[in-house]
Amino acid sequence: MVDVAIVGTGHSKFGNRTDVNLQELAWEAVKQALEESNLDQKDIDMFVVGNAGGWSSEPLSAIVIGEYCNLAPKGTMRVEAACATGSAALRIAYQAIKAGDAKIAMVIGVEQMHQSPNPVAIEMMGRAGNYFWEFENFGLTFPGYYALYATRRMAKFGMKEEDLGQIAIKNHYYGSFNPYAMFQKQIKMDEYMKSRVVAYPLKVYDACPITDGAAAVILASEEVAKKITDSPVWIVSQGFKSGTANLSKRDDFISIDAARLAAEEAYKKARIDFENSWRYFDVAEVHDCFTIAEIMAYEDLGFAKRGEGHLLAREGQTYIGGRIPVNVDGGLKAKGHPIGATGVSMAVSITRQLLYRAHKGTQVDVKNGMGIAHNVGGTGHYAYVTIFSLKKPSA
């Protein structure tokens, strides 16, 4: 099996991007990735498009993007795995290269959620849970789902609303330095505590925004990567698991089992000790669709013991200089969450961090040369954990 590296990255501005259509938005990221890798469209063997759709007008997003970006007639497909769509697309391209079916593959994550009114987008996301039972009968949408996790953890572990607020404050702080971020305004605790409640205890500042955006990465086999760049970032391993559609069928509302299992799988392949995992990584990108999701991610990735994730937030241990810097590009909370682009955006952020190409004010000190991305679809319906490194996996 061949080793696979990222040799080019691209990222659009996230936000309300109704100034362009879907394919123009994708091109912003594709163009950057091609220029960074010094490649042309003719060099790409295949491309995979991560696009959840449902709220946008293009049902054949991969085709219109391929035509516009001059990637046709290379083989393609549209991939969907809810909010983990971008990581699923990454996996398809990664596996194709490892299997020898391609030497250079492009992954494009893109979403234009503002093509639909906000209530429509919110409903479409709500349908991504258990439609006939939880959505239709009880009216659960995603703020409600994650509020169940938050209230359970408050009761069991003594987590406070202010602990959630610390996540929002941190991610808005780093988002203020990221020119690609949707929200570039720092917030304080009093603003957070006074913000409107969406689903107790979750407030407006606990929730990621409806977002448009695109990101792209170019993957290459070891043989080709060494010819393209002297600074490849290798994909060491990837774990992926799934959970039940119906939240009521899960054992407990304190963690996302699929994410923990995906982490264990990725760690086993990379020979990483789960209990001390935070010691291996210089930076982490985790799926903070709501602030409570980031706190659970700390535990599901082994950065904190079960029930102690909120203490990392309370103590500021996930800022740069702390135990493990997390979401220092602003995360989904401030950078934004264009569903199909999020997982690819995480890969872009980690790659640029390891290569000291992050934005001023967000660059971590790279000592171990490793980063990790945690991408969850729904409330744990899908989970992908990907490990990146400056060191070749087989070295």
Q: Could you tell me if residue 57 is inside a domain?
A: yes
Would residue 289 show up in a list of annotated catalytic residues for this protein?
A: no
DSSP 202-269: EEGGGBPPB-EEEEEEEEEEHHHHHHH-SS-EEEEEEEEEE--SSGGGSS-SSS-HHHHHHHHHHHHH
Residue that the structure tokens 């290269």 belong to? 97
Q: Give a yes or no: residue 42 inside a domain.
A: yes
Give the structural domain span for 18: 4-117+210-228
Q: Residue 385 forms beta bridges with which residues?
A: 239, 374
Position 87 in a domain: yes
- Amino acid in the structure at residue 363: Q
User: The tokens of 168 are what?
Assistant: 């929002």
Q: Say if residues 47 and 89 touch (Cβ distance below 8 Å).
A: no
Specify if 223 maps to a domain: yes
- Give dist(CA 283, CA 349) in Å, integer: 10
Q: What is the DSSP letter of 15?
A: B
Report the domain count for the chain.
1
110 domain-assigned: yes
Mean pLDDT by groups of 10 residues along the chain of 395 residues? 95 97 98 98 98 87 98 97 97 97 98 88 71 60 89 97 98 98 98 96 97 98 96 97 83 91 98 97 98 98 98 98 98 98 98 98 98 95 97 84
pLDDT of residue 131: 59
Return the CATH number at 110: 3.40.47.10
For residue 324, the tally of other CB atoms under 10 A from its CB is 23
| Residue 113: inside a domain | yes
Catalytic residue among 114, 310, 337, 374: 337
Residue with tokens 């809810």: 82
Q: How far apart are CA 22 and CA 313, in angstroms?
A: 36
State the amino acid at position 201 in one-letter form. P
Within-domain flag for 28:
yes
> Residue 330: helix, strand or coil by DSSP?
coil
CA separation for the pair 144, 44 (Å, rounded): 42
Q: How far is CA 151 from the centre of its chain?
A: 24
Spot the catalytic one: 83, 172, 208, 289. 83
- 83 among known catalytic residues: yes
pTM confidence score: 0.96
